[in-house]
Amino acid sequence: MPLPPGQNARALRSPLIDPDLGYIAGQWVGADSGKTVAVINPATGEHLADVPNMGKDETLRAVSAGEQSLKAPTTIDQRRGWLLKIAQRLKDNKEELGRIITLEHGKPWKEAQGEVEYAAGFFQYCGEHIDALKSHPLKERPRNHDWTVHYRPAGVVALITPWNFPIAMLAKKLSAALAADCASIAKPASKTPLTMIAFFTLLAKLDLPAGKVNLLIGSPQTIGDVLCQHPSVRLISFTGSTEVGRLLLHNTADYVKRLTLELGGNAPFIVFDDADLDAAADHLMANKFRGSGQTCVCANRVYVHRLVVDAFAQKLAQRVKKLKVGNGLEPDTDIGPLIDENAFKKVKRHVDDAIAKGALRVVGEAPTSQGEWGNFFPPTVLRNVTKEMACVNEETFGPLVPLLEFETEAQAIERGNDTEYGLAAYVFTKDTARAQRVIRGLRFGHVGHNTGTGPAPEAPFGGMKQSGFGREGGREGLFEFVEPQTVPAL
């Protein structure tokens, strides 16, 4: 059973985070330099742990370990067994893993456990559908030959993940990479590495070949440069900002590497005048305030038909006022802290900018400074928001709901698409024909109709436009990590 709140990760002596090290070629290792990076609890400011600040030498060793593991191909059945075991071990350890997520990220413990279950779903799905990667003959006999299509592993792959979903983002990538028989190098965000260490503790107990999975913690630039330039790293899967995605495209161009990129979002949440307003408000609450609004798929711009905007704003305000902000380890907490001071300052800048340009505060206190509030930002709803405001053009990544108005279906489509991003969108209307027209017109990889739910392990997910390319989840996600090889035979 987990120990009570109020103790940091070292005091808990969790078997899932001891030692606080990286993992290369089947061994726990530190940084050659001896340098470390501190991990801080964003809710309390407590020092949780020191993790190694790895660099070039450790990255080269991890790539070499991955190369060696690829010399011994594994079978579909072996990989299926690993995937299903990982799924079960995640489920068995969801309370402990969830608590570690809460300590280093801040999200409520119950929500963090849900993230672990979500992560398990990707390994479960890949294990149950791995037969899609079996070699298969063509039914036809072109050029009078029998043909077979084989799915070969892409090679050594780099899996670079953000801090907002410390285990789910890796699960999306590693499940498909393992299914494809790739050798993986995982690079978590330095703000939330403890969850990854805990997960690798579980992986280390499986019969995976040495070098099949490797964990690097440290400088994103130094590690990233090696991964971009090393010829044996054939694919990089990255979730993060569009700015960094552009750098990866630039830095890998000379090496013709494959990339799968899930980048920034600026999701529109469109509520028509015939929508069920209570249902729309409930879904917006669940969508927007998960992870304190620090998700790429959460609503960033809420467009409400002018005939119902007053009623919708009132319903939303009633719900927001009931939210409890606090330490995620407290059982009644709905919203935890933002990840750090910079995140707090960005949300405050967006609110201040909107108010200065004419927006009205519907609900939410006005924090004077991060020092007064710590990393906790009060959930805020604004009215009279216009497209000139920063919160409409930039991804806020925080608990701010800006309400904008529209009148026509064409306006809803045009304004929804008025962004360089194309990750997720949401449409609420009882008119099925209208929904089909609007969804067809929206350029987003994921569009919810009368739901604010996000991606699922069974469905392909990814972005359009500058939100990236490639898909995670579903059969499409399985095929991102393989190279088809076509073989004609007599």
Please identify every residue annotated as catalytic: 262, 296
Do β-strands 27-29 and 233-239 pair in parallel, antiparallel, or remain unpaired?
unpaired
**Ramachandran area for residue 265 (φ above 0: left; ψ -120 to 50: alpha; else beta):** beta
CB 373 within 8 A of CB 347: no
Pairing of β 360-363 and β 380-383: antiparallel
Strand partners, 402: 382
DSSP state at residue 218: B
The strands making up 156-160's β-sheet, listed across from edge to edge, are 27-29, 22-24, 213-215, 183-187, 156-160, 233-239, 258-262, 468-469
d(CA 288, CA 291): 8
End-to-end Cα separation, the chain, in angstroms: 62
H or E stretch covering 128: helix 109-129
Q: Are 219 and 53 in contact (CB under 8 A)?
A: yes
Pairing verdict, β 400-406 and 299-305: parallel
Task: Tell me the C-alpha distance between 14 and 480, whole Å.
Answer: 35
Q: Find, among 423, 371, 367, 376, the residue nearest to 395 by Cα.
A: 423
What b/e sequence results for 428-467 when a residue is b if at least 16 CB atoms lie within 10 Å of its CB, and e otherwise? bbeeeeebebbbeebbbbbbbebebebbebebbbbbebbb
Burial letters 292-326, b for 16+ CB under 10 A, else e: bbbbbbbbbbbbbbeebbeebbebbbebbeebebb
Please compute, for residue 16, the number of CA atoms within 13 A of its CA located in the half-sphere on the CB side.
Answer: 22
DSSP 8-state class, residue 201: H
Q: Which two tokens stand for residue 7?
A: 């103790």
Phi, psi of 170 (to 5 degrees): -70, -40
Q: Are 79 and 142 spatial neighbours (Cβ–Cβ below 8 Å)?
A: no
- Asked if 292 contacts 337 with a C-beta cutoff of 8 angstroms, the reply is yes
